[in-house]
């Protein structure tokens, strides 16, 4: 999957960079902050590795030690322009997100942004998705960020010994053989669900018609791409970030009113906002094509790499109460997760190292252009966390848009759920109005918890 993500960078509209914004309750001391960053690059060795492509791009790229690693090339600080508020911070995050990585260096950077008179600060982090997926990032945060201000001010412990890396050509050959050899088994595992469904359907002759019908409908839903919204058909390279912070406990309680998850609750907020946005522009009815990334790791597997599949939903853009919309989204998610083909998207990426880049890009453009919204929910830090004496007050994630109209990521920090929106202004032509509608629909969903 990392191979596909890296090579999609050949098309600027398909770049898979991720921008995170950690808001802090105070400005950390600069030298102490640099010391923490240097330590993190030692305990997370991949932060000192760059990507090396094999000759002719045959086989997967490999991680290679950056022998000239320079922390100053990755970490800097700025002062936000007046008034130094949320909008100025998001504008900075947009600029950081639009910058291009130097392929000769590890694909990440961090900016400490001071908010002027408020005394607060934020860290804007840009990293390439090949470094880790959301689950991998969360594990790193849980393992490394101190839980008290005092602990975060102590000198960091000694870093582990530097990892030994085989020559890139040797690694490339080994990885190529290993991953290509594993591809049939991975695809077969995804197909086992289909075989099991067929077996169950034929086990009891009397129940065969009903079971076969259910299987056919599931297959049809899995291979049918929901229709995109004509109103959101425009695509461009600009980005517009917006953010909403929600009380996590209330969001969970709202979902429980219909037996739904936090993921269903925040997708219901977005679907309601898009439905209202369509009515604002004189459009009624239709569907919103939604992709929901899901972690498809085997149970108990702790892997920092990207192991992600995707669910496709067709969200109705009809007028509805917050309760009814939440129930409808929950039903859509349950149905999609039961699909016999739910794990195939991740399994098929095992073949990407042998797919010519032009073919990969064409397939990626088709898949990415088939959706309006990507909605990802990532569990965050359940407790307080600190860095260099400053407490993280919220975490916002702006995921790669990948040629869609909007990517929305929900990630929690302690008691706050941060919703980051990466909008394409060519598709959502009035992002300010859409942001207001997101807040209105969030209020309506949260009100379910207090009813």
The answer to whether the beta carbons of residues 451 and 259 sit under 8 Å apart is no
pLDDT band at 394 (very low <50, low <70, confident <90, very high): very high
Tokens encoding 105: 């260096």
Nearest residue to 292 via CA among 215, 367, 376, 236: 376
pLDDT at 336 (0 to 100): 87
Which position has the token pair 């942004």? 113
Q: pLDDT digit string (tens) for 184-196?
A: 555 555 555 545 5
If one counts every other C-beta atom within 10 angstroms of the C-beta of residue 399, the result is 25
* Residues 329-365: b if buried by 16+ CB within 10 A, e if exposed: bbebbeebeebbbbbbbbbbbbbbbebeeeebbeebb
pLDDT at 172 (0 to 100): 53
pLDDT at 360 (0 to 100): 73
Every domain range in the chain assigned CATH 3.30.559.10 = 2-155
The answer to whether the beta carbons of residues 256 and 271 sit under 8 Å apart is no
Residues 390-416, mean pLDDT to the nearest whole number: 93
pLDDT at 222 (0 to 100): 45
Q: Report angle CA 434, 138, 440 to the nearest 5 degrees.
A: 20
Cα(365)–Cα(375) distance, integer angstroms: 18
CATH class of this structure's domain 2-155: alpha beta
Q: pLDDT digit string (tens) for 32-74?
A: 999 999 999 999 999 999 999 988 887 889 999 999 999 999 9
Q: Which residue has the higher pLDDT, 166 or 329?
A: 329
R_g of the chain, CA atoms, integer Å: 23
Every domain range in the chain assigned CATH 3.30.559.30 = 171-382+398-450
pLDDT at 3 (0 to 100): 85
pLDDT band at 301 (very low <50, low <70, confident <90, very high): low
Cα(273)–Cα(120) distance, integer angstroms: 31
Could you tell me the CATH superfamily of domain 171-382+398-450?
Answer: Nonribosomal peptide synthetase, condensation domain (3.30.559.30)
pLDDT at 231 (0 to 100): 96
Average pLDDT, the chain: 83
pLDDT greater than 90 at residue 442: yes
pLDDT at 381 (0 to 100): 87
pLDDT band at 219 (very low <50, low <70, confident <90, very high): very low
Q: pLDDT digit string (tens) for 421-432?
A: 999 999 999 999
Which segment of 87-96, 244-253, 377-386 scores lowest on mean pLDDT? 377-386
């Amino acid at each position: 999957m990392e191979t596909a993500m890296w090579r999609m960078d050949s098309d600027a509209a398909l770049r898979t960079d991720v921008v995170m914004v950690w808001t802090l309750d105070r400005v950390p001391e600069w030298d102490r902050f640099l010391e923490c960053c240097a330590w993190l690059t030692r305990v997370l060795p991949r932060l000192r590795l760059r990507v090396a492509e094999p000759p002719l791009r045959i086989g997967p790229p490999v991680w290679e030690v950056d022998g000239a690693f320079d922390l100053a090339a990755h970490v800097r600080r700025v002062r936000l322009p007046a008034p130094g508020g949320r909008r100025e911070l998001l504008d900075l995050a947009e600029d950081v997100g639009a910058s291009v990585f130097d392929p000769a260096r590890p694909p990440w950077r961090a900016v400490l942004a001071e908010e002027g008179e408020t005394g607060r600060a934020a860290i804007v982090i840009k990293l390439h998705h090949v470094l880790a997926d959301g689950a991998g990032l969360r594990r790193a945060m849980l393992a490394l960020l101190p839980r008290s201000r005092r602990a975060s001010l102590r000198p960091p412990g000694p870093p582990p010994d530097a990892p030994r890396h085989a020559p890139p050509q040797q690694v490339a050959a080994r990885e190529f053989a290993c991953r290509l050899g594993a591809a049939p088994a991975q695809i077969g595992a995804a197909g086992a669900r289909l075989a099991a469904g067929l077996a169950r359907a034929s086990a009891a002759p009397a129940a065969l018609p009903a079971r076969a019908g259910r299987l056919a409908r599931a297959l049809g839903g899995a291979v049918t791409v929901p229709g995109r919204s004509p109103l959101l058909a425009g695509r461009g390279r600009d980005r517009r970030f917006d953010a909403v912070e929600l009380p996590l406990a209330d969001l969970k309680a709202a979902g429980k009113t219909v037996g739904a998850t936090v993921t269903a609750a925040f997708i219901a907020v977005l679907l309601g906002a898009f439905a209202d946005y369509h009515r604002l522009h004189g459009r009624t009815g239709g569907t919103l094509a939604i992709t929901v990334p899901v972690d498809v790791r085997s149970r108990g597997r702790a892997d920092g790499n990207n192991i992600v599949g995707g669910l496709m939903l067709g969200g109705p853009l009809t007028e509805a109460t917050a309760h009814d919309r939440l129930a409808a989204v929950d039903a859509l998610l349950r149905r999609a997760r039961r699909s016999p083909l739910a794990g195939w998207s991740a399994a098929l990426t095992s073949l990407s190292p042998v797919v010519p880049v032009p073919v990969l890009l064409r397939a990626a453009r088709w898949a990415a252009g088939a959706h309006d919204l990507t909605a990802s929910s990532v569990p965050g830090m359940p407790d307080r966390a600190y860095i260099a004496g400053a407490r993280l007050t919220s975490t916002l994630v702006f995921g790669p848009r990948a040629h869609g109209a909007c990517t929305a990521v929900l990630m929690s920090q302690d008691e706050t759920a941060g919703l980051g929106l990466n909008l394409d202004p060519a598709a959502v032509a009035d992002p300010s109005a859409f942001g207001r509608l997101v807040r209105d629909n969030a209020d309506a969903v949260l009100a379910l918890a207090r009813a």
